[in-house]
Structure 1
Amino acid sequence: MDLRTLADKIEIAELFARYARGVDTKQWDLWRSVFTPDAHLDYSSVTGVVGSRDEVIATLEKALGTTPMTQHFITNIETEIDGDRATARAMFYNPMLLPNMTEQSYCGGYYHHNLVRTPDGWRSEKLVEENLWFVNHPSAAS
């Protein structure tokens, strides 16, 4: 692996860390900076939210604004780089305390990103969340 590829992989891993910190601390400008302005996000496997970066962030701000605690662990990042484009797949584990629930919930799965190198560094232009499991889902309490 050459130094450029290694540096790209580190930068992409840092991008994922900013994603987690932005959403967990509700720093929406930081979270927004992970994506290109025209990015498409698909969280349909767990929340049903699908749309542009700004459409999705409006929904997440509202939904997570009342969520007492979330913590995203993103690991096992696999990146394929081809010039100024890349794909990445990473595992996530997300413990959380959801509104109006007394017990913690947990979910896990994969993030699938299509990335592009921009003048400001790597950014995600497409994210698909693949939720594989969810323990103590709010709909189970109904």
Structure 2
Amino acid sequence: MTVHEPALQRLLDEAEIRRLLTTYCTAVDDRDWDLYRTVFTPDAFIDYTSTPHGQAGTLDETVAWLSENLTLLPMTMHYVLNVDARIDGDTAIVRAQFYNPLQIPGVERVSFCGGYYNHSLVRTADGWRSERLVEDNVWFDNNPFV
């Protein structure tokens, strides 16, 4: 083992984690719930309660809720930025900023929200997967729900 192998593994892990978060965004914006499921472990817990009318639950409960509720929005476009991955062997704690322009029916102009995705990740045979996601929605511009 050379001195460079741990550094290389860390870079590979960080790149795979960023790709996982991109897959998450693509799945949500495309309403591709099969792809969404690939981001998570089967027993994942997902908490969107910081979002207006959000909920928390299992992966199956969350997919059912998202597939029902996101169909009401003509457009969402999630961006993930400033990914901070604290990797410890086969686990990682990830905090990443999100920015999401979205169109809400009946609202005159585009709304925007942002905050943090807080993931607990595990390395699986299929790569990094989230076993817990807690969304922290920090701000919401043009929020019709207040």
Same fold (TM over 0.5): yes
- The whole-number CA distance in structure 2 between the counterparts of 1:34 and 1:54 is 13
| Structure 2 match to 1:44 | 49
Over the matched positions of the two proteins, sequence identity in percent amounts to: 51
The residue type equivalent to 1:105 in the other structure is S
- The whole-number CA distance in structure 1 between the counterparts of 2:23 and 2:63 is 15
The structure whose Rg is larger is 2
- The whole-number CA distance in structure 2 between the counterparts of 1:138 and 1:60 is 19
* Structure 1: gaps of 5 or more residues: none
SS at match of 1:14: helix
The residue type equivalent to 1:25 in the other structure is D
Q: Which 10-residue stretch deviates more, 83-92 or 1-10?
A: 1-10
Is structure 2 residue 89 aligned with structure 1 residue 68? no
- The whole-number CA distance in structure 2 between the counterparts of 1:106 and 1:76 is 18
Residue-by-residue CA offset, 1:85-110 (whole Å, 9 max, x unaligned): 00100000000001232211100000
| Structure 2 match to 1:3 | 8
For residues 1-142 of structure 1, the aligned pairs below 5 Å read: 2-46=7-51, 47-140=53-146
TM-superposed deviation, 1:31:
1.1
TM-score (norm 2): 0.92
User: Cα RMSD over matched residues?
Assistant: 1.0
TM-superposed deviation, 1:57:
1.0
The residue type equivalent to 1:119 in the other structure is A
The residue type equivalent to 1:102 in the other structure is E
Structure 1 runs (4+) greater than 3 angstroms displaced: none
Residue-by-residue CA offset, 1:90-132 (whole Å, 9 max, x unaligned): 0000000012322111000000000000000000000000111
Residue-by-residue CA offset, 1:9-67 (whole Å, 9 max, x unaligned): 00000000000000001111111110001000111111331000110110010001121
SS at match of 1:103: coil
SS at match of 2:14: helix
SS at match of 2:22: helix
